[in-house]
Amino acid sequence: MGMLLRYGIAGLALFSVWILLLPLGILRAFIIRDLWSWFIVPLGVPEISVLHAFGIGLFATLFVDQMLTIQMMRKDDKDALRLFLNGIAGWLATWGLGAIVASMM
């Protein structure tokens, strides 16, 4: 019974991470798609869908989002939360700035 409880808690933790990260991945996909449409498509490259952008975001994560993982492994919850929120704020700021620049083009 103890082993079942332990695996159940681990499964619930993994599921809760997906509940949080999937919407953020979708948000990032919309940001990537919009930035691509604003700045890359005018250069003659085809448009991409949100699913393509989601894949590009996953690919980029392999190389970029390592600091948050390191902070979480150190159990430095305060720094990990700060890095996580700063990352989301950076995405939103980039999206907004991109919209402003695209409207000037």
Q: Is the pLDDT of residue 82 over 90?
A: no
Q: Exposure string (b/e) for 59-80, b if CB count within 10 Å is 16 or more?
A: eeeeeeeeebeebeeeeeeeeb
Residues 26-57: tens digit of each pLDDT: 999 999 999 999 999 999 999 999 999 999 98
Token pair for residue 26? 């979708």
Q: What residues contact 27, with CB distance under 8 A and at least 6 apart?
A: 91
Name the residue type at position 3.
M
How far is it, in rounded angstroms, from Cα 59 to Cα 64? 9
pLDDT value of position 40: 95
Q: Return the residue matching tokens 């999206």.
A: 95
Alpha helices in 1-105 (DSSP H): 2-39, 50-64, 66-73, 77-104
Ranked by mean pLDDT, which of 11-15, 20-24, 25-29, 73-77 comes out on top? 25-29
pLDDT value of position 14: 65
